[in-house]
Amino acid sequence: MSRIERAEVFVASPGRTFVTLRITTSDGVVGLGDATLNGRELAVASYLRDHLVPLLIGKDPARIEDMWQYLYRGAYWRRGPVTMTAIAAVDTALWDIKGKVAGLPVYQLLGGRSRDGVLVYSHASGRDTAELLDDVERFLSLGYEAVRAQAAVPEVGGTYGVRKGKLYEPAAAALPDEQPWDTEAYLNFAPTYLEAVRERFGFGFHLLHDVHHRLTPLEAARFGKAVEPCRLFWMEDPTPAENQEAFRLIRQHTTTPIATGEVLNSIWDVQTLITEQLIDYVRTTVVHAGGLTHLRRIFDLAALYGVRTGSHGATDLSPVSMAAAVHLDVAVPNFGIQEYMGHADETLEVFRGGPTLADGMLHPTEVPGLGVEYDEKAAERFPYQARYLPVARRLDGSVHDW
Ligand code: GCO
Ligand code: MG
C-alpha cells in the first residue's frame, strides 16, 4: 500500500505571499494544497509544520474522508480560518494525488462535468465614475460576461476594491494601511456609479458589487432597494458575515440577490443562511473552508435549498486553489459563478498550469489530478515578505469593518 512519505510547507512571495503544502507518497506521487490565509500566512504554515505534518507521515493517502475527520475531530478545537485552511491544504493535496493515481482530472472524481465551462467575473474599479466606466469597458471588450464594479467615494477615498496597479491587491504594506470610511457618503455615491454603468453599457452582462461587510442590516436593506433598478447579479457581503440572523432583515426588504461567505470556514457558519434561504450565493472556498471534501458538503446543502455557488477567487487564492475550485465548479449542479482575478506574472513563474480562460469562462485542465505544478527553484527567487490587509476607520477615528 502506498504511504505518505513526505509533507513539505513552502512559504514564498511571488507577487504576493502563498503558503503551499506538497505531499509525496511512497510511490513518488506528488499532491499540492494551498494554505494561504492573507495577512496571517505564518500561522497556517506553523499549524501545518508543527502540528499536522507529523500526523500525516505513514498514513494511507487514499483515505481522504477519514483524514478529514481525523484532522477535524482530532483537533478537538473546531472551525476557524487557521484550522480550516490547514485541513484544506491536506485535503486538496490528497485529491490531487487521487486524481494522479487514477489517471483522471479531479472533476471526473467529483462526478464529471455538469457544464462545459465555468462563468467568471472579474474586477473593474476606478478612483471615480469616469475611470470605473473605462475599466468596465475594458473587461467587456476582453469577453467577460460578468463584471464587478467598485469606485472610491469622492472626498473620502479609502473605498474597498479600487485597484492601484495591474491587479487589485489589498495586502500591500509592512504594517496595516489605515483607510477612512464614511457610510453615508458611500450610500449616497455607490448607487450612482452602478446606475452609470447600466446607463452606458446596458443590461447585456452581469453586474456585481462588493459591499465588503461595511453596512448594518438596515443600511444594507436601504442599499439593496436603491440599486434594484440596476438588476445586480449580487450585492456581496452587505453586513459582517458572522451574524447569520442579520440577513433576515435584509432579505425581507429587497429583491437584490445576496452573496456571502468568503470569510466563513465551515458548513455550520452558513447553515442558517442556507436553510432559511437568506442568501442566493454562497462564497466559501476550497482553501478557507476545509478543502474539496468540506466545500462539496456545503455546496450539496446549498443545492437542497436553491442556493447557488459563487466562490471567492481573489489574487490571494493561489493557482492551486483556483484549479481545485474550477474542478468543483464544473461538476456541481448548483454552480452560479466563480470570481477570477488572475495572478501576477511572478506568481505564474512559480505555479505552472491550471485552468484556461476563454470567452469569459474558465476550463479545467484534462491532465490527471488538479493540473498545477509548483516550481520550488523559481519560488526561492521570491522570499517571504510580511504584508497586512488594511484596517478601516470611521471619520471619528473608531475602527470599522474593513
Ligand atoms: C473579493 C474579496 C477580496 C478580499 C481579499 C482579502 O471579493 O474578492 O472581498 O478582495 O478582500 O481576498 O484577502
Ligand atoms: Mg468580497
Closest protein CA for atom 11 of ligand 1: 170
Give the pLDDT confidence score for residue 165 in this predicted structure. Answer: 78
The closest-lying atom of ligand 1 relative to the alpha carbon of residue 171 is 13
Kindly report the CATH number assigned to the domain that includes residue 41. 3.30.390.10
Same domain, 171 and 60: no
Same domain, 176 and 96: no
CA dist 14 → 11, 23, 357 (Å):
10, 21, 21
Give the pLDDT confidence score for residue 115 in this predicted structure. Answer: 98
Residue 44 inside a domain? The answer is yes
Cα(205)–Cα(220) distance, integer angstroms:
24
Same domain, 165 and 300: yes
Same domain, 98 and 219: no
Q: Which residues pair with 178 in a beta bridge?
A: 391
Give the pLDDT confidence score for residue 239 in this predicted structure. Answer: 97
Contact between residue 284 and residue 298 where contact means Cβ atoms under 8 Å apart: yes
Cα(96)–Cα(117) distance, integer angstroms:
20
Own/partner long-range contacts of 67-71 (Cβ < 8 Å, ≥24 apart): 67/91, 67/94, 68/290, 68/291, 68/293, 68/294
Same domain, 97 and 113: no
What is the 100 CA–ligand 1 centroid distance (Å)? 31
Residue 93 inside a domain? The answer is yes
Residue 332 inside a domain? The answer is yes
Domain of 100?
A: 4-105
Annotated active-site residue 160? The verdict is yes
The residues, ordered by sequence, that sit 6+ positions from 145 with a Cβ below 8 Å of its Cβ are: 119, 205, 206, 359, 360
What is the 339 CA–ligand 1 centroid distance (Å)? 10
Same domain, 82 and 164: no
* Cell numbers describing residue 6: 513526505
Same domain, 225 and 317: yes
Same domain, 141 and 249: yes
Kindly report the CATH number assigned to the domain that includes residue 271. 3.20.20.120
Active-site pick, 160, 168, 186, 281: 160
Same domain, 20 and 127: no
In a structure prediction context, what are the per-residue pLDDT tens digits for the chain, which is 402 residues long? 999 999 999 999 999 999 999 999 999 999 999 999 999 999 999 999 999 999 999 999 999 999 999 999 999 999 999 999 999 999 999 999 999 999 999 999 999 999 999 999 999 999 999 999 999 999 999 999 999 999 999 888 767 888 887 788 888 888 999 999 999 999 999 999 999 999 999 999 999 999 999 999 999 999 999 999 999 999 999 999 889 999 999 999 999 999 999 999 999 999 999 999 999 999 999 999 999 999 999 999 999 999 999 999 999 999 999 999 999 999 999 999 999 999 999 999 999 999 999 999 999 999 999 999 999 999 999 999 999 999 999 999 999 999
CA atoms within 13 A on the CB side of 234: 27
Residue 308 inside a domain? The answer is yes
Cα(106)–Cα(254) distance, integer angstroms:
39
Our count of domains for the chain comes to 2
Closest protein CA for atom 8 of ligand 1: 314
Contact between residue 23 and residue 100 where contact means Cβ atoms under 8 Å apart: no
Give the pLDDT confidence score for residue 392 in this predicted structure. Answer: 95
Same domain, 214 and 351: yes
